[in-house]
Chain A
Amino acid sequence: MSGLAILGQNVFSGIAIGGVYALLALGIALIYRSTNVTNFAQGDITMLGAYALYILLEQLGLPYPIAFLLAIVVMGIFGWLFQRFVYYPLRNRSFLPVIIATIGAGILFQNVALVVFGSIPRKVNPVFASGGFTVGGVYFDLQYIVILVVTAALFVFQYLFFEHTSLGKKMQATAQDKTMAQLLGIPVALMIAFTFIYSTILGAIGGMLVAPIYFVTNRMGSTLGLKAFAACICGGFGDVRGALIGGIAIGLIEALGAAYIAPVYKDAFPFLLLLVFLLVRPQGIFGEKVSEKA
């Protein structure tokens, strides 16, 4: 394999995995924008999405498209339950108890998954059985291409939905100013519920996309969730465009760091870089204000 091909290979897989981080980060960013809540359970929601696909696809033997859609519906309902029982009771408290409640929820999800599925890693088949193809020495795994296509489609959908539908605009209005939205007759609580449902679905789709690449375990969400956070912060918290760029940046950094510096520290590179960012340029790439001073 030539040096260029190795580089190409790592850039390709980095961007694809980065796409998954971007989906999770988008979910975190949307919830943050509308409720000021930092959802630490997003990674574990991803894990549940992967398990949902596993049950429907591998255990019930449904065809891929039906299993995929059904899993989305199930996770949507789950998103509603999540906001009803974790966010809603704490909606008027400061950011700390809510963060902690989402951490607690994450622990709960992991443990429920452990009880139900045990600690044996589960395998999910990729969307296309044929594997992939090689161009110029770079192997294009079809599952990675599926990830890229789905991520791109979701970001386009996100744009069209928020800018061109009434529901999307109502959700944006709620995110910008809850009181004003309420005065204009927008059902704010419902909009927040929608935001949670949508964000949960985004996370779950992320999980379904990586399920065939990683094994599905109850702990798979921890690292994914933390990297999604890193993506969120790199891109400026709460920024949609930032979530995309941050996600891909994190994906690239870990792929290239693992290939050229040290493979065992693959998971450390994004966090090291983020650490430097937070301490040297805390406002993120796009310059969101970080300091919480008045």
Chain B
Amino acid sequence: MKMNLNNPTLREKFKPSALIAIAICLAVVVLFPIVVTSRYIVNLVILAAASGVAALGLTVCLGYTGLLSMAQAVFYSIGSYAVALCTTRMDIGWWGGMFLGLVLAALMGLFLGFASLKVSGRYLAMVTICVQVVFALVLMNWREVTNGADGISGIGRPWLFTELDDAQKFCWFSLAVLFICVLIIWALKTSKLGRSMRAVRENEMAAECLGVNTLRVKVIAFLICGVLGSLGGSLYASGFLYISPDSFVYQNSVDFLSMVLVGGTDSAFGAVIGASILTFLPEALCDLESLYLVIYGCIIIVVIIFMPDGLWGYVDRFMRRFSKKKMLPEVKQALAVGECDCDEVLHIENIGMHFGGLKALDGVDYAVHKGEIHALIGPNGSGKTTCINVISGIYTPTFGKVTFLGEEITGMKPHIIARKGLTRTFQNLRLFSKLSVYENVLVGSQRAGGSEEEIIDRALAAIEFVGLKDVAYEQCRSLPYGHQKLVELARNLAGKPKLLLLDEPAAGLNESEKEMLGDLLIRIHKMGLTMLLVEHDMSLISKLATKCTVLNFGEKIADGDVDEALTDPQVVEAYLGTKEVSEDDA
């Protein structure tokens, strides 16, 4: 990361209050092991720090990216055993062992990441459970390497300018590692990658169509998750100098999950709070003897049911109430659209899309030229949305060819097509509803590349253009429907599009909102943006469209000027039916 403090995001990230908070944390890290000398508490702090680092992995995976992993104890064990084996049996030392653990955990993370290509949701959770169960059994039974149930003792500690041989020094080291990890994961959240991750969590398909390589993002999420899990494990092993397989079973993975849930999944601080509470709580409640386990279980349920954002969610909301309203950075430039150096922007040749026996599209061709608003109309079920899905890469057509600016894009992944400047909206809104308006548009703006500053400038211009400046920091889900539609438009405009596909932009809007939308689209048109418009509202079409293609039952029945196409007898028949047809039916 370039540490350029003129960079607006960095300036926002490292504002005075944040710097003070960082300084306080740093002071705690440095002073704590000096002030607290109780061996017992120091050990607990090491445990909490190790768990905290591992839980941070879940913050990235589950909290940011929305991938439920129940295999954090696997990564934890990789780091633990790597350090244990390297310091006891091989002469590689702690740092070598830790590094080896990171590499192995990264490989395992890659494996889980690619599994997410095949399965998602509860099935992905099941993949992680399978890995967890099998791995735990291997640790238990591969006696030659892991020493089985007896575990490994006499684990070494790292050398860092001095031998960290007593618990206090190692506690300091663990806290320092935790501090650095928290700082990185906290900064990650508002970075380009972090935004992409949260976009994937909120709506994977929309993220993909805005140019986010969702597979890559998910793989990276698992990678970070694994690396942090392993790092935590290395701290754990050296903290207690002894490990055995029963600390790395399914139950332990569930414990890590509980930590991030209790603390709050959406923030790095949540993981630390959760890990601390769940480490210290059993000790604090130990006077109640075994009853503490019940209380522990109750706390988890109560937190999940009544505090969906965890404890940090509460703190965060409380702080936000007292901090002053955030101001949007200044808009520096006007909205710009992409330049097309080719007259024929989009060319569709003989496209067919069959779903089993259903021919949603059957040999359609048309072309969209530079500067046009090309309307694609037809009765319900005529294949309009399928057509948009084929062009944007969501479906690979059964046959035929799609050419965008002279380049064939048939069968390419949506994010690659999106990065070429072809962008789309969705019939049913697909917003990143828990992200703010500003963040939604930033994700859209990332597609066109450039530095963070350029991304921000484009996003601001787009927000200004659609007139949502006043609500830029609101969560999308709290906005009225009409505004949400505008967010989607802004999200597309911020990425310097060359062709904009609009799938029923006016659906669900009232008359005045439609009017406003029409005016906006005309302004965009005047800026030179080519558009393909799917719409049912004929008044909007006659107001906007310059060319028109009519589909019916997956085939093109008319093409050309709007007035001409709308009066074509076949089109009238498709929309209204004819006498002969109704007689045939009867």
* A interface residue numbers (CB < 8 A to B): 38, 86, 89-90, 93, 95-97, 99-101, 103-105, 107-112, 114-115, 118, 219, 222, 226, 229-230, 233, 237, 264-265, 267-268, 271-272, 274-275, 278-279, 282, 290-294
How many inter-chain residue pairs (CB < 8 Å) link A and B? 118
Top 10 closest pairs, chain A to chain B, by CB: A108-B297, A111-B293, A104-B300, A271-B130, A275-B130, A104-B301, A264-B141, A268-B137, A111-B297, A115-B290
- Measured CB to CB, the nearest residue on chain A to B291 is A115
Q: Are B126 and A105 in contact (CB-based, < 8 A)?
A: no
Q: Are B293 and A114 in contact (CB-based, < 8 A)?
A: yes
B115 CB, nearest partner CB in chain A, Å: 6
Main secondary structure of the interface of A (DSSP, over half): helix
- Measured CB to CB, the nearest residue on chain A to B70 is A103
The reply on B294 being an interface residue by CB < 8 A is yes
Chain B 244-276: CB-based contact to A (< 8 A → 1; otherwise 0): 000000110010011001000000000000000
Given contacts A97-B308, A103-B257, A222-B251, contact A267 B118 (CB under 8 A): no
Identify which of B141, B301, B308 contacts A265 (C-beta below 8 A): B141
In the assembled complex, the Cα of A30 lies from the Cα of B85 at a distance in Å of 47
Q: Are A279 and B115 in contact (CB-based, < 8 A)?
A: yes
Given contacts A107-B254, A275-B130, A278-B127, contact A265 B66 (CB under 8 A): no
Given contacts A96-B68, A282-B118, contact A103 B130 (CB under 8 A): no
The reply on B122 being an interface residue by CB < 8 A is yes
The reply on B481 being an interface residue by CB < 8 A is no
* B interface residue numbers (CB < 8 A to A): 66, 68, 115, 118-123, 125-127, 129-131, 133-134, 137-138, 140-141, 204-205, 250-251, 254, 257-258, 261, 290-291, 293-294, 296-298, 300-301, 304-305, 308
Identify which of A115, A268, A275, A291 contacts B293 (C-beta below 8 A): A115
In the assembled complex, the Cα of A278 lies from the Cα of B296 at a distance in Å of 34
B435 CB, nearest partner CB in chain A, Å: 15
A221 CB, nearest partner CB in chain B, Å: 12
A205 CB, nearest partner CB in chain B, Å: 24
Q: Are A96 and B294 in contact (CB-based, < 8 A)?
A: no
Q: Are A290 and B119 in contact (CB-based, < 8 A)?
A: yes
Centre residue among B138, B254, B257 by max chain A CB count within 10 A: B254
Q: Are A291 and B304 in contact (CB-based, < 8 A)?
A: no
> Assuming A108-B300, A293-B204, A294-B205, what are 11 further A-B pairs, CB within 8 angstroms?
A90-B304, A99-B68, A107-B254, A108-B298, A109-B297, A265-B141, A271-B134, A275-B131, A278-B130, A282-B123, A290-B120
Chain A residues with CB under 8 Å of B254's CB are 103, 107
In the assembled complex, the Cα of A25 lies from the Cα of B118 at a distance in Å of 23
A108 CB, nearest partner CB in chain B, Å: 3
Q: Are A291 and B120 in contact (CB-based, < 8 A)?
A: yes
Centre residue among B131, B205, B291, B301 by max chain A CB count within 10 A: B301
Given contacts A104-B300, A112-B294, A226-B129, contact A265 B137 (CB under 8 A): yes
